[in-house]
Structure 1
């Protein structure tokens, strides 16, 4: 955790309290903070700031001189459409995408998504994984997450409304590389402005998309791109792709 995020109900300026066992353990055992030390905190959905540790017990930490005066970092202007992966992979991906600042996440069914994934108890813990990602990335605003269990109706009826300026789909067997796509995009942009990245990126689960899915996505304006000759795991593909948005926003 690079900051401790608290719900509004635990903050009464200029005071606050930490009740979450994992956060308390982190303060005691990882940060090794003592009375009078300064702690980086934030309010979920609000600002970031600092506080002074005023009282510590094994089950509660009281904070004083709470100052929440720093706005959270801007979200990445992108919607990630992700084919639901294996549950353990999903946990890491939700944390990573949240830490990276993704604005919207759509978890979608695909041909290679096993039906059992949709019954995983981890789907009920997405808020927990989002909180971990926010505390890692020092952010307070959670991504919007939706789940779409029917691929074709979503792609044909809803995907187009999410595409404000272009869309790409990661596909290792496409003819166009991500680098070529970005270069082409830059040439088409005005010289005085940054080239806008796509507003939607579609990423398959392990095994990727089948041809039918690629064709259906293409019909809605999604350009297939590859990232080189190596076949990447879903986690690697997500981080490689979203790194472009981080660099673009820096």
Structure 2
């Protein structure tokens, strides 16, 4: 936790913040080894960041006295990530990684090679998704939560959502065997589409290219989804 992320409800009108949940308290005690008087980096979800002094710490609560918060969070990446729904454990790590890298718009998509059982995972509960996004923000010192959309049909996505998502964006489909190598250091507003383990099926690739997307590859190695997404974002932006 490189940032103590505060919810607006943690704040009072006297410039103090109080946290009571077990996760943040345990992190303060066991990882930060925080003591009274310590000054830590804090940020308000959806708002600014700055410093705060720890003025009370018990097993049940921590109270901070906030300096005026004036630091803006780091800029977002100019990308909307469309990710074929990975297996649940990989989903959790991937959400944390892409949030830490600055992705603010995420669509989780069903494709042919996505196991239907994945959609029943507790990891897709709103509170679980929120937890992983928060961990990514805390890691990277950011306060702006990404939006996450669940899309369970590929054809409806293709016909109803993709045209609007491509408006004003460059569409890039990451898939092995594409003729173009992944671009480097672009600044375009981008729609990045990443398939599941095993990749998109040929029909899906064909339809995405027909819709105006460009196919690209990361080289001859076949990577796990969480590795591929991190590598793609780092190389693209």
Q: State the TM-score bracket (shorter-chain normalisation).
A: over 0.9
Deviations 1:80-130 (A, max 9, x none): 000001000000011011111102000000001001000001101100110
Is the counterpart of residue 225 in structure 1 residue 216 in structure 2? yes
Deviates more, 1:107-116 or 1:163-172: 163-172
**1:101-180 map, 5 Å:** 101-124=102-125, 125-163=128-166, 164-179=168-183
1:200 aligns with 2:191: yes
Kept in 2: contact 1:156–1:220 (CA 8 A): no
Secondary structure of 2:209's counterpart equals helix
CA distance in 2, matches of 1:210, 1:5: 40
Q: State the shift of 1:198 in Å.
A: 5.0
Shift of 1:219: 1.3
User: Is the alpha carbon distance of 1:198 and 1:68 closer, same or farther for their aligned partners in structure 2, counting shifts above 3 Å?
Assistant: closer
Per the TM alignment, residue 206 of structure 1 is displaced from its structure 2 partner at its CA by 0.9
Structure 2 equivalent of residue 186 of structure 1: none
Q: Extract unaligned runs of 5+ from structure 2.
A: none
Q: 2:182·2:235 contact (CA, 8 Å) conserved in 1?
A: no
Whole-Å separation in 2 of the counterparts to 1:65 and 1:195: 38
Structure 2 residue 43 is matched with structure 1 residue 47: no
Q: 1 CA distance for matches of 2:28 and 2:235?
A: 33
Taking the aligned partners of 1:239 and 1:172, their CA distance within structure 2 comes to: 16
The TM-score normalised by the length of structure 1 is 0.90
Partner of residue 188, structure 1: none
- Once the two structures are TM-superposed, the CA of residue 195 in structure 1 deviates from its matched residue by 4.9
User: Is the partner of 1:99 in helix, strand or coil?
Assistant: helix
CA contact (8 A) 1:79 1:105 kept: yes
- Cα distance in structure 2, aligned partners of 1:39 and 1:177: 43
- Following the alignment from structure 1 to structure 2, what is the Cα–Cα distance between the partners of residues 104 and 76? 9
How many Å separate the matches in 2 of 1:195 and 1:176? 15
Moved more, 62-71 or 235-244: 62-71
Corresponding position of 2:34 = 33
Structure 2 equivalent of residue 236 of structure 1: 227
SS of 2:104's equivalent? strand
For residue 76 of structure 1, give the secondary structure of its aligned residue in structure 2: coil
Per the normalisation by structure 2, the TM-score is 0.94
RMSD over equivalenced CA pairs, Å: 1.4
> What is the CA–CA distance in structure 1 between the aligned matches of 2:42 and 2:91, rounded to whole Å?
26
> Equivalent residue of 1:175, what SS?
coil
Equivalent positions of 1:81-92 (< 5 A) are 81-92=82-93
Partner SS state of residue 78, structure 2: strand
Paired with 1:30 and 1:176, the residues of 2 have a C-alpha distance of: 45
Q: 1: distance between equivalents of 2:227 and 2:122?
A: 24
For structure 1, the 5+ residue unaligned runs are 183-193
